[in-house]
Amino acid sequence: MGLAEMKKIYGEYIAQVKKLESEKKIGVGLFGMGKKISDDPCHEAFADRLKEELKSFGDMAPSSAEVREVLGYIYHAQAEMNESLSTYWMMNAVHGLTLDLIRKLDPDDAQSLIQLYNDDVPKRRRFPVQKQVFSVLKKAAQK
């Protein structure tokens, strides 16, 4: 569990989306015709699987360093996968699934994640869920 499982979940999701993109026929999804990649159930399955794994990971009472490692991976993944809009949006959306784990961080680890978050998700590009994550990170850094 932990980081290795997160990498596996993300890797499988990215592979699924790349496969969908490679099999996509020209014109599909334009003008509402056909099935768009963003409508594929793999996106919801990814979020559900990640949610389950994060809950399981949190229940194992991980150390603050382990939590920082996992959250750092999740927060940085979207910065590396921005060529696929379908994965980019979902990887940003799942940041909201990490709120409970943030509370397990010690102040130093929370502060290091704040730095990472500022680099990968600049304030001007944050969605509401990311603003919430950043706020909870700031509170954890002030414990």
SS (H, E, C) 64-122: HHHHHHHHHHHHHHHHHCCCCHHHHHHHHHHHHHHHHHHCCCCHHHHHHHHHHHHHHCC
pLDDT category, 28, cuts 50, 70, 90? low
How is residue 34 annotated by DSSP? Answer: S
The predicted-structure confidence for 36-60, as pLDDT tens digits, reads as follows 778 889 999 999 999 999 999 999 9
pTM: 0.88
